[in-house]
Structure 1
Amino acid sequence: MARPSLREKIVDSGVRTLHERGFASAGVREITAEAGVPQGCFTNHFRSKEAFGIAVLDRYHERTQAIMDETLRDQRLPPVARLRAYFDTIMEWLDAAGWRYGCLVGNLSLEMPEHSELLREHLVQVCRSLTASFAEAIRAGQTSGEIRSDLDADDAATFLLASWEGAMMRMKVDRSPLPLEQFKRVIFTMLLIP
């Protein structure tokens, strides 16, 4: 198997570093040290820290999409079970991380919009993609009769993502799964057909 390129090592390490330390507080020296590459490699592969942030966001989004493929898009499961499987899978990762890091999309959203229009626009695209995936599952649930049909699927998906991100922020503060468990109890009660 081929060895990963230095760029790939920096991006992979960047996902961990930005999750743990945040975008603003992670310096190029720290990023390259975590990746185990010379500092000069950073500028060889990224024209700016902002370009690096976008590459890291894309890698994180690829991983999230892979989880969505295994859960939200698993046609063998009923739509509500797909939604539950997605949140349960993410919660397993968050548990392994000690309820400390939350979602990189949410973290960057809080940290960057005022400082980087390019990164902000990229975050908008990622959030649209995530919302579309939730809307697809909600529409399937409405068609199957599991999810209330009086809700606009796009509005419900936007609310779902915003609520999930908020629950993860609270989880980070509390270092507890309780906000995520409360999110699931409330959201599924609101979405499901009574």
Structure 2
Amino acid sequence: MPRPSLKEKIIAAGVNTLHERGFAAAGIREITTDAGVPQGCFTNHFKSKEAFAVTILDRYHENTQAIMDRTLRDESRAPAQRLRAYFDEITTWLEAAGWRYGCLVGNMSLEMPEHSEILREHLVDVCRSLTQSFASTVRAAQAAGEVRNDLDADDVATFLLASWEGAMMRMKVDRSPKPIEQFKRVLFATIIMNCDPQ
């Protein structure tokens, strides 16, 4: 197999670096050290730290979409079970990380510099994509009688993403799974029906 390019090494390591250190705290030296590449490589491949963050968000979003392919888009499961499978798979990752890091999209949204329109617009696009994926599954669940039909699917999807991000934020503060467990209990007791609680 060909060796990964230096740019790919920076991107692959950069997802973890920004997750663990945060956008503001991660300097170019930390980013390249974590990637195991010379510091000069960064400016060879990225015009700015903002451009790097956009690339990292894209990679993180690709990883999230892969999880959604295995869960939300798995039509062998009932729609409500797809939603549970998605949240359960993310919960497994959060547990492996010691309940410390949360979601990179949420973290970046909080840390985004006020003047960074490029980063803000990219976060809007990523959040829109995530919401659309939830909305598609919610519509399928409504058609199957698993989600209340008196609720707008886009509203439910927006609520899901906002509540999930909030639960992960509180999880990071508490370093505890309790906010995640509370989110899932309320979600599957109120909005989503015909899905046995775990």
Category of TM-score, reference length = shorter chain? over 0.9
Aligned to 1:125: 125
Aligned to 1:12: 12
Aligned to 1:22: 22
Aligned to 2:54: 54
Give the residue type in structure 1 aligned to 2:103: C
Aligned to 2:39: 39
Q: Deviations over 1:21-65 (max 9, x none)?
A: 100110001100000000000000000000000000000000000
Cα deviation for residue 190 of structure 1 reads 2.0
Out of 181-190 and 119-128, give the one that drifted further. Answer: 181-190
Q: How many residues align?
A: 194
Aligned ranges for residues 65-76 of structure 1 at < 5 Å? 65-76=65-76
CA distance in 2, matches of 1:32, 1:144: 49
Give the residue type in structure 1 aligned to 2:6: L
Gaps of 5+ in 2: none
Whether 1:101 aligns to 2:98 is no
Percent identity over paired residues: 75
Aligned ranges for residues 106-185 of structure 1 at < 5 Å? 106-112=106-112, 114-185=114-185
Gaps of 5+ in 1: none
Secondary structure (helix, strand or coil) at the match of 1:125 reads helix
Q: Deviations over 1:158-191 (max 9, x none)?
A: 0000000000000001111110000001112221
Give the residue type in structure 1 aligned to 2:189: T
Cα deviation for residue 113 of structure 1 reads 5.1
Aligned to 2:88: 88
Secondary structure (helix, strand or coil) at the match of 2:101 reads coil
Give the residue type in structure 2 aligned to 1:172: K
Cα deviation for residue 115 of structure 1 reads 3.4
CA distance in 2, matches of 1:115, 1:78: 44
Which aligned segments of 4 or more residues in structure 1 are displaced greater than 4 angstroms?
Answer: none
